[in-house]
Structure 1
Amino acid sequence: MMTDFSPDESFIDTNKLIFGIGQVQQITGVSGRQLRYWEAQKYISPLDQKKGVSRQYSLRTLFLIFHINRFIEQGFTLQAAVDHAQKFDAQIPALRKFLRGQLKGVTISDDKTLLDFGYLNHHHDKHVYGVIDQGGETSFEIKDVASQSH
């Protein structure tokens, strides 16, 4: 089975993905009490609340909560976990920009997934692929364009 994906296909507008506090608790395993404490400490912020509506969080905040909790589970203090999660969160826009600009497509076959990162340089003589094998191991392959068969 072979599946191809082109990054030109439209993506979901992640700004419209909103999660209620109950969903956030279920997804992340963080209690409502902890979430309210983290809000009080200004580590996280819910979306603007309407009167009578429970707390809601953006997808970005959901990921931040997930990562704070992950670092706490690794033994970091709350403050250190927040610092690490915020550093990670700050890297996401650069990663997204790179992938949007460089990812040319994804091909999924029975034995591996190839992420097409396009040409290695302006000479266009080598092509770069990210590879994910069946076991989940990742690597890069650089192939001479002349030797590739299409």
Structure 2
Amino acid sequence: MGKMTDLNPDESFIDTNKLIFGIGQVQKITGVSGRQLRYWESQKYIAPIDQEKGVSRQYSLHTLFLIFHINRFIKKGFTLQAAVDHARQFDAQIPALRQFLRSQLKGVETGPNRTLLDLGYLNAEHAQRVYGVIDKTGETSFEIKDVK
């Protein structure tokens, strides 16, 4: 395995509020047509960034992800309303996931056959560390290793 890359949880992540996508980019990235996007806007499922008159629609990264997830649930057979509900529920969970990863992820070690995510100590005794494992096929699991 390669060297473990240490992560500093105090370092800021990229300011995603500054990542803006035009309607054409959103269509290419998500596969959702402009007509669908305008309909979803009319139903208040999504909203473009406030814009000047005459400027094409633009969307935040957050909205891009919401569009992606709505479309993903539709492809799984959900109605539009159910897809929106599921996408919003998923979206509501993201802050908790982000907070957990910021505080727990201590480093990443990559190798040819697997990647290890160092999730820190198992408990306050500091006798064992927990690792998330991603193998070369994409399967995931956990490992607990004794600290020497």
Tell me the C-alpha RMSD between the 2 structures.
Answer: 1.3
Query: Segments of 4+ in structure 1 off by > 4 A?
Result: none
Task: Give the unaligned 5+ runs of structure 2.
Answer: none
Q: How many residues align?
A: 146
* Amino acid paired to 2:33: S
Structure 1 length-normalised TM: 0.93
Matched, 1:97 2:76: no
Task: Give the unaligned 5+ runs of structure 1.
Answer: none
| Corresponding residue number in structure 1 for 2:7 | 7
* Amino acid paired to 2:95: P
**Which of 64, 70, 73 lines up with 2:72 in the alignment?**
70
Of all paired residues, the percent bearing the same amino acid is 77
Matched, 1:32 2:60: no
Structure 2 length-normalised TM: 0.94
| Corresponding residue number in structure 1 for 2:118 | 116
Distance 1:145 1:66 in 2: 41
Distance 1:85 1:124 in 2: 38
* Amino acid paired to 2:131: Y
Residue 53 of structure 1 deviates from its aligned partner by: 1.3
Distance 2:105 2:40 in 1: 36
Cα offsets for 1:9-60 (capped at 9, x unmatched): 6532211111000000000000111001101100001111122211111111
| Corresponding residue number in structure 1 for 2:81 | 79
